A and B are shown apart, each in its own frame.
Chain A
Amino acid sequence: MSNKEWPLWEVFIRSKQGLNHKHVGSLRAADAEMAVSNARDVYTRRSEGVSIWVVESSHVHASHPTDADALFEPAHSKVYRHPTFYDVPEGIEHM
């Protein structure tokens, strides 16, 4: 008997209200079909979703935590990038 583990999959669920699929967790499955089935059983038991995406975890490429200062800190000092410096003319609703 083989002790090789099944690959890990990342699971994304779109809720009824949401437009985007959100990462909800991960699971193990032998292939994509089983991953969708397992995701259904593990992550949608309480009506959390209307659509499932699964991606094999090894296909996800991530930024490295040690690069965080170079990648993200420069943006902290650039508050002018937020659209909070505009005066909204009177009479414009839903802003």
Chain B
Amino acid sequence: MDNALFEYLVRLGDDSLILGHRLSEWCGHGPILEEDIAMTNIALDLVGQTTSILKYAGEVEGKGRTEDDLAFLRYEREYRNTLLVEQPNGDFGVTMMRQFLFDAFRKPLFEQLVNSSDAQIAAIAAKSLKETKYHFKHSAEWVIRLGDGTEESHERVQNALNDLWRYTDEMFFTDEVDRDLESRGITFSMEDLKNTWQETVKSVLDQATLEIPTNGWQHDGGRKGLHSEHLGYILAELQYMQRAYPGMEW
């Protein structure tokens, strides 16, 4: 089995899975009906991406695990999502800021991956890119509206940025998995990605009249399976049905 490819797919898939689950928590609680539907649409896009990515991960692994087995039946330390996507929803400003920081990373990532030497990854990226372009437009517009909005919305979304900034560097985490895949043309330069991300984020935050935090401390661990205290609660909810009623379908 191609260990590096499997590991990479799980990282990619788990980001979608956990953020999709987080966003789905807004279902029925959105600030307005239209936004409630928008967020659940995005959640569904992310869960859909997870399905294709983890399905392929299961095939690469070759042990007969399906996308459902991977999504619902792993233990916490086997999840490889970044810490950013597991952070709590907070208020609407926190959710939109988290989404924006992530979308600004995901869009150029899929733009790279459509050229992957791995045909399956290229196909998944092409489909996901269309969805992600809209996610980015949606979250960036909200960040600008809230940042350049009222005094209260500005303050809340600036606080959200200050709190979430420390989880951003981890999206560009690079280890032997990335180096191996890059050497095979399956993935591409993480450094290019980071430069694009920084430019995008700066341009949107400028429009939003928000200030990029200067605190340099950055967390990591998610890509190695070391998570914040929040993931356990997410998994408890996500996995409950499959753990209580193994193999159930509806």
Q: A28-B32, A42-B37, A45-B37 are in contact. Are A37 and B138 (CB under 8 A)?
A: yes
Contact between chains at B152 and A1 (CB < 8 Å):
yes
Q: Report the Cα distance A4→B137, complex, angstroms.
A: 26
Contact with B along A24-55 (1 / 0, CB 8 A): 00011110011001101110010000000000
For A, the interface residue count at a CB cutoff of 8 angstroms equals 15
8 Å CB contacts to A: which residues of B119-170? 134, 137-138, 141, 145, 150, 152
A1 to chain B, nearest CB (A): 7
Shortest Cβ gap from B196 to chain A (Å): 24
Chain B neighbourhood of A34, CB < 8 A: 141, 145
Say whether B38 faces chain A, with CB atoms less than 8 Å apart: yes
Q: Tell which of B37, B141, B145, B150 touches A41, judged by Cβ atoms closer than 8 Å.
A: B37
Which single residue of chain B is at the shortest CB-CB distance from A40?
B134
Query: With A1-B152, A37-B138, A45-B41 as given contacts, are A27 and B34 in contact (CB-CB < 8 Å)?
Result: yes
Is B152 within 8 A of A33, CB to CB?
no
Cβ-closest chain B residue relative to A29: B34
* Contact pick for A38, options B38, B150, B152, CB 8 Å: B38
Smallest CB separation, A52 vs chain B (Å):
13
Smallest CB gap from A44: residue in B: B41
B interface size (C-beta, 8 A) = 14
Among candidates A27, A28, A37, residue contacting B141 with C-beta atoms closer than 8 Å = A37
**Chain A residues with Cβ under 8 A from B152's Cβ?**
1
Of all chain A residues, which has the CB nearest B42?
A41
> What is the CB-to-nearest-CB distance from A47 to chain B, in angstroms, rounded to a whole number?
13
B141 touches A33 (CB 8 A): yes
Instruction: Give the chain B neighbours of A6 by CB distance below 8 A.
Output: 32
Q: Which residues of A contact B141 (CB under 8 A)?
A: 33-34, 37
Chain A residues with CB under 8 Å of B137's CB are: 37
When chains A and B are docked, how far (Å) is the Cα of A6 from the Cα of B32? 10
A28 CB contacts on chain B under 8 angstroms? 32, 34
Report chain B residues within 8 Å CB of A2: 150
Contact B41 A30, beta carbon cutoff 8 Å:
no
CA distance A41 to B141 in the complex (A): 15
From B34, B38, B137, B145, name the one whose CB has the most chain A CB atoms within 10 angstroms. B34
Instruction: Give Cα distance in the complex from A33 to B142, angstroms.
Output: 11
C-alpha spacing A86/B192, complex, angstroms: 71
Other-chain contact of B145, A1, A30, A42 (Cβ < 8 Å) = A30
Residues of B at the A interface (CB closer than 8 Å) are: 32-35, 37-38, 41, 134, 137-138, 141, 145, 150, 152
* Extra inter-chain contacts (9) besides given A27-B34, A28-B32, A37-B141, CB under 8 Å: A6-B32, A27-B33, A29-B34, A30-B145, A33-B141, A34-B141, A38-B34, A38-B35, A41-B37
List 8 A–B pairs whose Cβ atoms lie within 8 Å, in order of A's numbering.
Answer: A6-B32, A37-B38, A37-B137, A37-B138, A38-B35, A40-B134, A42-B33, A45-B41
